[in-house]
Amino acid sequence: MTGEGWAQAAFKVRVDEVLHRVVGEEADRFAAIDASLAGVAEQLEASVARGKRLRAAFCYWGWRAVGQPDSDALVRAAASMELVHAAAVVHDDLIDDSPLRHGRPTAHVALRRAVSASDADTAARSLAMLVGDLLMALAGQLFAGCGLPSAYLARARPLWSVMARELIAGECLEILRTGAGPDTAAALKVIRYKTAKYTVEHPLLIGGALAGAGARLREGYSAYGLPLGEAFQLRDDLLGLFGDPEDTGKANADDLRGHRPTALLAETWRLAGDEDRELLRGLLGRPDLDAEGLDVVRATMRRLGAPDRVEDMIAARVAEALAALHDLAVPERAGTALTVLAHSASARLS
């Protein structure tokens, strides 16, 4: 990024450079301990190979919206948000037993080739859990060593505990709600804590805290960030079932096979009559759900209008976020960037 302009692609390059260097160096140090760790180190690097870097961008503009200038140290701090995300993804894929991410085998699947134990699946899952743990530790290390003054870091450090607590609470809620009766309010609570807060709200608040944002601006960040984060995950749920796997890089049937508490499924259930509910009971949660069964669920959802209902929920939340942004007194370039990011987060194919 040069001057005062905002170019998402250029910012992504800057974040990628930080992530690939930091994680690459850590992977080298890790593999140097013993040659057998090479496969684990490889997955450490693979975890940050791809990504939109939205969380880093929200942290960056949380800083800039206070009036602070561009800063390489801040970009490093913002990049730590992506390591939190990488850790969450490894753990989430492990919990959900998802086979694909970005079109490539997930960590616990890829690590099967690194083990020779008789129960390769269990060993690989254990290794993946530890990769996620190491990524989270590395996130804190990058943040603490980003180069910003210690007084700035002290303002933001308490938010890390909140972010970790709420992220883990959201993951626990999803596990506890999996297989339960579909409920839209419960699904939205899972969305809020598992994804929305650490995707938009917390990165904004951390960037703002680093910059010394006042209470009014911090409240505005939450008013913008929380509904937008929910819109992001609602879009993800729609893409998970109706998106093109070539674009999403994920398996379409994951949420249905796992009977996960998504708003899309909850809205389908709410709109369904007894006959449709009986049909859904026979398909949801089946690990052997095939393409034909998947098509039946999709057709049922479309006929009931559930995807349209979720689209309405997304649109309402984006409008709420943009209205909150409009009420904030932030520099024009920051307002423009946050508007662009709102559309990037909610209207996407992957």
pLDDT one-digit tens code per residue, 13-43: 999 999 999 999 999 999 999 999 999 999 9
Distances (CA, A) of 157 to 143, 163, 168, 187: 9, 10, 18, 29
In a domain, 315, yes or no: yes
pLDDT digits (tens, 9 = 90+) for 137-196: 999 999 999 999 999 999 999 999 999 999 999 999 999 998 888 999 999 999 999 999
Distance CA 8, CA 3 (A): 14
- Check which CATH number belongs to the domain holding 193 and give it: 1.10.600.10
In a domain, 112, yes or no: yes
In a domain, 322, yes or no: yes
Please count the structural domains in the chain.
1
148-184 as b/e: b if 16+ CB within 10 A? beeebbebbbebbeebbebbebbbebbeebeeeebbb
- The predicted structure's pLDDT at residue 5: 44
pLDDT digits (tens, 9 = 90+) for 294-335: 999 999 999 999 999 999 999 999 999 999 999 999 999 999
Lowest pLDDT segment from 73-77, 125-129, 178-182, 201-205: 178-182
In a domain, 3, yes or no: no
pLDDT at residue 245 above 60?
yes
Give the residue numbers spanning the domain of 185.
8-346
In a domain, 93, yes or no: yes
In a domain, 1, yes or no: no
pLDDT band at 248 (very low <50, low <70, confident <90, very high): low
In a domain, 72, yes or no: yes
